[in-house]
Amino acid sequence: MRIFSGIRPTGGLHIGNYLGAIKQWIALQEKNECVFCIVDLHAITTPYDPKELQKNILETTAVYLAAGINPDKSVIFVQSEVKEHAELAWLLGTITPMGELSRMTQFKEKSKKHKDYINAGLFNYPVLMAADILLYKAQAVPVGKDQEQHVELARTIAKKFNQNFDPPRLGEAGKIFPEPESILPKVGAKIMSLTDPKKKMSKSDDPKSCISLFDSPENITKKIMSAETDSGKDIVYNVTKKPGISNLLTIYSLLTDKTTQEIEKQFKGKGYGDFKKSLAKVLVDYLEPFRRKQKELQTRDVYVKEILNKGASRAKTIAESTMKEVREKMGLS
């Protein structure tokens, strides 16, 4: 099965990015054909520093590699290096209803957050994401809960393209694009802020609200010990009544492969302090290999760029083949 997923090169990736996406990718690459993309064209739809973009791309690639993505098993590349992404996005935009884009929740959220930076690129973001997926004829997309709506739109666009330009003919299967499915983690598809557990963890909020993959042990411990919890002292998973402690339980569960029920039992009769100390140690130990590998990769820019170049070459081969079919079906060649 071919799988596609991507992540914005906005720098400073946190455990929400890892637990919600990258951790899945590591498992998926063992038995599937995986295409992982650093989506720099998406990154420029919200405020960014052009001087930092290339640095952030290399840092994001280092995260992929440090986390365990294997360039021998998976294709890793930068979106803008494969021009077919933009071409397909334009073509798919001609069959995407405005109404579908108007109901996308991420556009509404980002428009509120960046009131001085509302642009057509942000509005059309989901069409580019659909193009990213369909260009590689991906059958599945590992995403966080907040991106599931975009995969549904990709399915809708694929279905419409197939109906309009590639209907089945006698003796032929038709259907140029598969209709991709979302792959969501069983738990932890959405890791919440440490300071406001009703909001998604984000690196653009208060630095205390998220844990970077490369935070020092001291910083990790400090952030976990000061993380917002709830009234009472029982370590119980209940997202509605105890969102703070439930978020911490989710993180603990995903890092240790224990169920939340097992963790509740482990800390029965103990207070938040004991639980937080244990979680801090789990995080510090878990992230130590990331820090070590990142430190090594920081001095190997040439190696990282070589991986991206090879990945782009492999991605272009697939993309060019798809676009040849698309242009023929749409009467453009």
Q: How many helices (H) and strands (E) does the chain have?
A: 15, 5
What type of residue is 85? Answer: H
Token pair for 289? 């290999």
Rounded CA gap, 253 and 257, in Å? 5
Q: Which of 175, 203, 281, 305 does the annotation list as catalytic? A: 203
190 is catalytic: no
203 is catalytic: yes
- Smallest CA-to-CA distance from 189 within 18, 8, 14 is with 18
200 is catalytic: yes
Residue 58 to residues 251, 284, 291, 302, 315, Cα–Cα distance (Å): 27, 24, 15, 10, 18
Token pair for 200? 């998604």
Residue 98 to residues 126, 153, 163, 313, Cα–Cα distance (Å): 11, 12, 19, 34
282-301 CB burial, b ≥16 within 10 A, e <16: bbbebbeebbebbeebeeee
Q: Which of 200, 223, 242, 276 does the annotation list as catalytic? A: 200
Name residue 238's beta-bridge partners. Answer: 242
Owner of token pair 């001087």: 51
DSSP letters, 234-302, are ----BTTTBHHHHHHHHHHHHHHT--HHHHHHHTTT--HHHHHHHHHHHHHHHHHHHHHHHHHHTT-HH
Owner of token pair 């099965």: 1
Q: CB–CB of 222/249 below 8 Å?
A: no
Q: Which of 23, 110, 137, 223 does the annotation list as catalytic? A: 110
| Active-site amino acid positions | 110, 200, 203
